[in-house]
Structure 1
């Protein structure tokens, strides 16, 4: 199911994940789900000219799989699907033994970097429609995300 889909077919922002350690999923999946709900709630405008989807893939390294990176990597613009994708790689030493608030702040910082890349690339592809609204709405998502319930 696509997360964030507007009734008129607007932008979808979706967070998915690939976890390289059995200990990752219980820590990151609830945060991933929460972010998807927040993006669906706040990010409902047409920020881009033709872009239909933004996909951010959490690649959380661990004992089984090391995704060999740190932070946003492998940006792609899939023109056929009108989609931006990016991997957000987290090495094991950055998540292992961290508290929930530390993980939220880690993800928050990574998402800021991801969206800065999306904005820069969308401008270079003449795809940006409303940068200010996008920054405002993503800011609302991240504000709610870093506050513990």
Structure 2
């Protein structure tokens, strides 16, 4: 099973700030989330949609949770409005993004549970927590 984070950025500034977060999240999930936690789902995908000067996604927070059982995947968008991130550093954003990703994954796991897909909830929760802790540590060390 894999967790993948993608990104759609509203301008170069939002991409420059969030893309390294996206890359590091993918690295951490690839390293820590390695089990088979669901009956048939093999992929959880979260798309970061970060509003900017060129494109505004006109919402904020988690949205559009979709379960595709035939494709063995679940997707969700995580939207960031332009104003909150513009004046923050990556070090400040990392724990915020970590919390938001954890919330999205919690919603996805709950949806999988309702669909009868969930097999190893405790192990998934532990592996995700380890991945997110690793992610946050990385940006704290970079700032030091």
Normalised by the size of structure 1, how large is the TM-score? 0.90
Where does structure 1 differ by over 4 angstroms across 4 or more consecutive aligned residues? Answer: none
Residue aligned with 2:70, SS? coil
Unaligned runs of 5+ in 1: 1-10
Inter-partner Cα distance in structure 2 for 1:103 and 1:47: 29
Q: How many Å apart are 1:105 and its aligned residue?
A: 1.6
**Structure with the higher helix share, 1 or 2:** 2
Normalised by the size of structure 2, how large is the TM-score? 0.93
Inter-partner Cα distance in structure 1 for 2:39 and 2:97: 27
Larger RCO, structures 1/2 (Cα 8 Å, 6+ apart) = 2
Unaligned runs of 5+ in 2: none
CA RMSD, 1 decimal: 0.9
Please show how residues 49-68 of structure 1 align to structure 2 within 5 Å: 49-68=39-58
Inter-partner Cα distance in structure 2 for 1:137 and 1:68: 33
Number of equivalenced pairs: 139
Inter-partner Cα distance in structure 1 for 2:108 and 2:63: 12
Is it true that 1:146 corresponds to 2:136 in the alignment? yes
Q: How many Å apart are 1:52 and its aligned residue?
A: 1.0
